[in-house]
Structure 1
Amino acid sequence: MAEMAAPFAPARRGAAGIVAPLAALLLVSSALWLFQGLGEGNRGFILALRAIKLGGMMTVAAAVGVSTILFQTVAGNRVLTPSIMGFDSLYALLQTAMVASLGAAGFAGIASLPKFLAEVGIMCLLATVLFGTLLGRGSRDIGRTILTGIIFGVMFRSARDLLSRLIDPNEFAVVQAATVVNFARTDASLLPLAATLCAICVALAMVMAPRLDVLALGRDGAINLGLRFRRLVIATLGLVAVLVSVSTALVGPMSLFGPAAFFGLIVAGIAHGLARSYRHAVLLPVAALIAANILVLGQMIFERILGQQTAMGVVIEFAGGLFFLFLLLKGRIR
């Protein structure tokens, strides 16, 4: 038994050797961001606001990192990210439709919790219909599912643009404010619920990690090893849907922030490069920690060093484009 367990010992030590430094870096960067520039004002009030903002960043980071790794495993492609499935466009369409039907005053008067639950429910319902209907026809329809998600995204974006042209310019300003990611507006009353949902999904993904390793071998290899392929694919995509829906409803559509396609691409690429392993028990926590470090350090640089003179999303978009070209030139895209 000792000889059989020996090959796995280096992998466990390697995982700890990656996760521990990333966690330490996140702890230090979070402390620096929380306590920098407090001054002589009401420190308790400032720290409370920053703690809420930090909690939002952590929740979104975990959701983006884990959902990207899961989605790439199902798709069998290291370039695709959950943002192509149209969730962000659906969220923007929902905000525009509510402003168009209720007006700016009615939209502002909607209670945050019912609004959050409705947004998460609608986005998860779309995912259920999309994944359940298409994948229910056969386990080979993953490519068709992704293509359908892209088409839905284009449809939602077009409908949102149409509604945006029909509403009053002042109401359009409200829509713009509601569809741009802003961690400063993280609702303290929603954060515990969103963080709990995200934590449950991450925990389930970690429990599924050994089967996800088999899933990464592809359909034929996974089935030959006795994996219930279709059931695991639907369960994995369900986790992706919840993670993306929760993070989007909490702070807004990440595709307008980075975009999310590039942010998730960067996070997943760095995670694979650092972990040097296909084991999801390593990749999932590494991806979540990398995403959190990028958001916290990026926010600190954006606020304190650059003096909020540029948008963090511009930097991520530029870096993500370069990283995509790097993968293309290195032949890593498959």
Structure 2
Amino acid sequence: MAEQTLTHEQAPALEQTPAPGRTPLTGERRSGALPTARAGRRYLVVVVALAVLTVLITLGNLAWDNPMPIGSTGFWRIAELRATNLVIITVVAFCQALATVSFQTVTNNRIITPSIMGFESLYRVVQTGAVFFFGVAGITIIQGVWQFIGQVVLMVAFAAMLYGWLLSGKYGNLQIMLLIGIILGGGLGALSTFMQRLLTPTEFDVLTARLIGSIANADASYLAISIPLAAVAGGVLWLRARQLNVLALGRETAVNLGVDHRRQTIAVLLLVSVLMAVSTSLVGPMTFYGFLVAMIAYQLADTHDHRYVFPVAWLTGFVVLGGAYFVLKNVFYAQGSVGVIIEIVGGTFFLAHILRKGRL
């Protein structure tokens, strides 16, 4: 077979053609979450934009409609009182964002949230049971730092029992665990509904305010417990970002890469349960908030690497919750309806997502 010869015009063109896996300009190999310089710039722009929105929302909540002159002692006193709500929003956004992204990773499903495991139903049973057995005074009985710790411990213990039972056995199955979680959540929800039907109108009105996710439900004294718990659980998940990347590849691939899939899955789910227990006990149930934040974060980050998804998810969670709180408080004067609005918007996005995909 005759050898092919190159003309003088073809040789330079061949030298300029990049090898497979090399960028056209530098010829250097690039791989990872952000494989091109353009993807890196896009991610940086997204993070900066979200950070700017976070700062603007923070300043707006602190300064908007503040009757005292900016910089005065009275202004900072009022701003300090409002800062508590911003800290609560930050903690809730952190918990929901990291918990939902991690939960969707280990379950390999982008449309479910940790709420499916019955955390919010358990919260409703505790709140409803207190009013059912002790009347309106029951709300006061379950308020306090120790009562808050008790609710968190109860939710985490419930999750640990469920995960340990359904995933540690010889025939442990993640799908069965999710199905049983849905059934238990439905059963606890039915029990709550039954007790609510037996309440007086006054007791029901008081209870309803507790069962709607709201920043007003949180007590500043809970932050001394919530912040360390969220920081430890979320920090461990953040440090496990590379392992989460492997778990996202599926059980077979993770096992072939030397990862103990079952043990790692249980560890992640327990950390997720801590974050969800803190968030739910702090402000109440927000079923679609985590789904909304995770969906937007994946679209904005445009990568599957958890090292990059986690920061975007956290900032997105703050922008969504903080922005909704600012608008409802200062425009519609209905800051207590933040949970309702987020549930409506999140539920709408959920349905649109399913209808667009055509499958679960």
Distance, in Å, in 2 between the alignment partners of 1:314 and 1:164 is 19
Given that residues 52 and 188 in structure 1 are in contact (C-alpha distance below 8 angstroms), is that contact kept between their aligned partners in structure 2?
yes
Match of 2:114 among 79, 82, 91: 82
State the AA in 2 paired with 1:286: V
Answer yes or no: is 1:270 the counterpart of 2:264: no
Match of 1:39 among 67, 79, 90: 67
Distance, in Å, in 1 between the alignment partners of 2:257 and 2:171 is 16
Aligned to 2:177: 145
Aligned to 1:114: 146
Distance, in Å, in 1 between the alignment partners of 2:42 and 2:358 is 23
Normalised by the length of structure 1, the TM-score is: 0.89
Distance, in Å, in 1 between the alignment partners of 2:127 and 2:121 is 10
Task: Report which of the two structures shows the higher radius of gyration computed on alpha carbons.
Answer: 2
Aligned to 2:5: none
Distance, in Å, in 1 between the alignment partners of 2:294 and 2:106 is 14
Answer yes or no: is 1:105 the counterpart of 2:140: no
Distance, in Å, in 1 between the alignment partners of 2:266 and 2:337 is 36
Distance, in Å, in 2 between the alignment partners of 1:73 and 1:285 is 16
Match of 1:223 among 241, 255, 270: 255
Query: Cα 1:332–1:243, aligned 2, differ >3 Å: closer, same or farther?
Result: farther
Query: Cα 1:191–1:297, aligned 2, differ >3 Å: closer, same or farther?
Result: same
User: What's the offset of the Cα at 1:288?
Assistant: 1.2
Q: How many residues align?
A: 327
User: What's the offset of the Cα at 1:68?
Assistant: 0.8
SS of 1:189 mapped into structure 2 = helix
Q: CA RMSD in A?
A: 2.5
Given that residues 222 and 229 in structure 1 are in contact (C-alpha distance below 8 angstroms), is that contact kept between their aligned partners in structure 2?
yes
Aligned to 1:171: 203
State the AA in 2 paired with 1:158: A
Answer yes or no: is 1:26 the counterpart of 2:50: no
Distance, in Å, in 2 between the alignment partners of 1:135 and 1:107 is 36
State the AA in 1 paired with 2:104: Q
Answer yes or no: is 1:198 the counterpart of 2:230: yes
- Superposed, 1:1-334 pairs within 5 Å as 6-8=30-32, 10=37, 15-40=43-68, 42-110=74-142, 112-138=144-170, 141-254=173-286, 260-261=287-288, 263-308=289-334, 311-331=337-357, 333-334=359-360
SS of 1:162 mapped into structure 2 = helix
Query: Cα 1:306–1:288, aligned 2, differ >3 Å: closer, same or farther?
Result: same
User: What's the offset of the Cα at 1:264?
Assistant: 1.9
5+ residue gaps, structure 2, are 1-26
5+ residue gaps, structure 1, are 255-259
Given that residues 179 and 252 in structure 1 are in contact (C-alpha distance below 8 angstroms), is that contact kept between their aligned partners in structure 2?
yes
User: What's the offset of the Cα at 1:289?
Assistant: 0.9
State the AA in 2 paired with 1:287: A
Residue by residue over 1:176-196, the C-alpha shift from the partner in whole angstroms, topping out at 9 and shown as x without a partner, is 222222213421111132122
Distance, in Å, in 2 between the alignment partners of 1:319 and 1:96 is 26
Aligned to 1:257: none
With a CA cutoff of 8 Å and minimum separation of 6, indicate the structure with the bigger relative contact order.
Answer: 1
SS of 1:248 mapped into structure 2 = helix
Query: Cα 1:206–1:15, aligned 2, differ >3 Å: closer, same or farther?
Result: farther
Aligned-pair identity (%): 36
User: What's the offset of the Cα at 1:321?
Assistant: 3.8
Query: Cα 1:12–1:194, aligned 2, differ >3 Å: closer, same or farther?
Result: farther
Query: Cα 1:142–1:173, aligned 2, differ >3 Å: closer, same or farther?
Result: same
Query: Cα 1:31–1:333, aligned 2, differ >3 Å: closer, same or farther?
Result: farther
Residue by residue over 1:229-286, the C-alpha shift from the partner in whole angstroms, topping out at 9 and shown as x without a partner, is 00110011111110110011111122xxxxx23x222211111111111101111121
Distance, in Å, in 2 between the alignment partners of 1:332 and 1:276 is 22
Given that residues 120 and 242 in structure 1 are in contact (C-alpha distance below 8 angstroms), is that contact kept between their aligned partners in structure 2?
yes
Given that residues 94 and 314 in structure 2 are in contact (C-alpha distance below 8 angstroms), is that contact kept between their aligned partners in structure 1?
yes
User: What's the offset of the Cα at 1:56?
Assistant: 0.9
- Which structure has the highest helix share of the two? 1
User: What's the offset of the Cα at 1:119?
Assistant: 0.3
